[in-house]
Structure 1
Amino acid sequence: MKLVVEQAAARWYKEQMDLSNGDALRIFIRLGGDGSVHPGMSLGITKDSPRSEGLRHEIEGILFFIEEDNLWYLEEKELRISFDDRYEEILMKVV
């Protein structure tokens, strides 16, 4: 399992969420949305501190993490977070 956050996405989150170096963002599972892995579930993101991190990726001074109890969502896959310049939006893709 792997968590990859591309630099452009990290910069976007830092700007949009007014984050500072040392801040952390938790990626979590939520009901609803159009998740590609589990129907009726998708991923969300919120500013938070890790309690029991399962995966982490630090970039642009920001820690992105998934708690250990949410790792089942990835099913031994990789989560890649990128920024789509054309549509100016974040993409979360499980591959």
Structure 2
Amino acid sequence: MKMTITKPAMKWFKREMELTEGDNLRFFVRVGGCSTVQDGFSLGMTVEAPAEPALSIQEEGITFFVEEKDIWFFENQDFTVKFSRNKDEIEFVHGN
């Protein structure tokens, strides 16, 4: 299982969330919303330091991670964060 952040998504995070080198962004499971992975759940994002990261990557000095307690959501699938120009928002794509 791996996580990928596309270059357009990186630009969005820097612009919209004002992330800079040294920041940490957590992807977490929340109840409700839409997901193609788990019915009744979706992903949220928050800027915070990792406690027990199960999956993490660093891009341009920014750490993106998922905590151990939320890793079940991904069902051992790869996880890509991309920016949709059509929707003008971040999208999460899951798959092997």
Give TM class, smaller chain. over 0.9
The aligned residue for residue 51 of structure 1 is 51
- Structure 1 distance, partners of 2:25, 2:52, is 13
Runs (4+) off by over 2 Å: none
> How large is the RMSD of aligned CA atoms in angstroms?
1.0
Unpaired runs of 5+ residues, structure 2, are none
Deviation (angstroms), 1:68: 1.3
Deviation (angstroms), 1:77: 0.3
TM-score by length of 2: 0.92
- Structure 2 distance, partners of 1:73, 1:13, is 22
| 8 A Cα contact 1:4 1:79, kept in partner | yes
The aligned residue for residue 16 of structure 2 is 16
Q: How many residues align?
A: 95
Percent identical among aligned pairs is: 37
Q: What letter corresponds to residue 51 of structure 1 in structure 2?
A: A
Deviation (angstroms), 1:87: 2.5
TM-score by length of 1: 0.93
- Structure 1 distance, partners of 2:87, 2:42, is 20
Query: SS of 1:72's equivalent?
Result: helix
**Residues 1:87 and 2:83 are matched in the alignment:** no
Q: Deviations over 1:13-52 (max 9, x none)?
A: 1111112211000000000001111111000110010011
- Structure 2 distance, partners of 1:4, 1:26, is 14
Unpaired runs of 5+ residues, structure 1, are none
The aligned residue for residue 28 of structure 1 is 28
